[in-house]
Amino acid sequence: MFEPEPESGCLTPVPPENGFIRNEKPYYSVGEEAEVVCLDGHNLKGYPFLRPLVSDAVLISPFKLQYQIGDTIQMSCPDGFILMGQNKYTCGNVLSWTPAILEPLSCKKRQQISSKGNCRLGQKEVESQCVCMSPEEDCDLNSEDICSLNVTSAEAFTKSGCQYLAEKCRGEDRLHFLYLRPCNNDTSLNWAIERASLSANSTRKEPCGYNECYDWETCSGRRCLEGGNSA
């Protein structure tokens, strides 16, 4: 059966010196193999098949045409998507990535958190009663990531939104929402720590998306605002 060649994907790899690509074509789909063959009088060292395992949506940093042994790359996805697979790889001594890339890497649309029936975020309905969700059993890996503050350790942690809400429902008062995306290394925690301290004396804790708004704040959409600025 005739299969049309893809019009996009990974470009033909550059063959090694004294070698060529047997099944050469303009593009290769994710998971498709390109076979390296040596010219007469030369022997191949290494695996003869090259297989593009990263979709166009996956962001690679740093991106280079060639990597040296010991180089590390970081994989990520655009906002609103989650990486299906490991996010960090190192070029090993045998000219292969560590850990091994065994499955195609792709970006999948994140699932935004929504309430379950008549229950609040972080709860589910069981026999007409709202109970707290289980972070281990009820939370999908595709849930969007958020950055949260642990006031006990004064550190920021990336969690799935579902896990965060489930833990808050179970009384984890040490957790405080920071922002809707994975944590950055340069995240400033000074105001977040002070806000968490002030919240202990607040007479109002209004649910606002992942956040809780206090006496001096109002909820707008999924954000707590103070004087028109995001908390």
112-168: pLDDT as tens digits? 555 556 788 888 888 888 999 888 888 876 678 889 999 999 999 988 888 899 998
* CATH top class, domain 10-109: mainly beta
Give per-residue pLDDT as tens, 175-227. Answer: 999 998 888 877 789 999 999 999 989 999 898 889 999 999 999 888 899 85
**Cα 153 versus chain centre, distance:** 24
Provide the whole-model pTM: 0.51
Tokens of 206: 């209004």
Selection from 21, 45, 60 nearest residue 94 by Cα = 45
Helices within the chain (DSSP H only):
161-169, 190-199
Q: What does the CA dihedral 9, 14, 15, 20 come to, rounded to 10 degrees?
A: 60
What's the confidence (pLDDT) of residue 231?
46
Distance CA 7, CA 116 (A): 42
Q: Where in the chain is the domain with CATH 3.30.60.30?
A: 123-230
Q: Where in the chain is the domain with CATH 2.10.70.10?
A: 10-109
Q: What is the CATH number of domain 123-230?
A: 3.30.60.30
Cis peptide bond N-terminal to 16, omega within 30:
no
Selection from 204, 230, 132 nearest residue 212 by Cα = 204
Kindly state the helix (H) or strand (E) to which residue 184 belongs, with its residue range. Answer: none
Report the DSSP pairing between strands 59-61 and 72-76. antiparallel
Report the DSSP pairing between strands 206-208 and 211-213. antiparallel
Give per-residue pLDDT as tens, 94-106. Answer: 777 888 877 777 7
Kindly state the helix (H) or strand (E) to which residue 145 belongs, with its residue range. Answer: strand 145-150
- Whether the pLDDT of residue 58 is over 60: the answer is yes
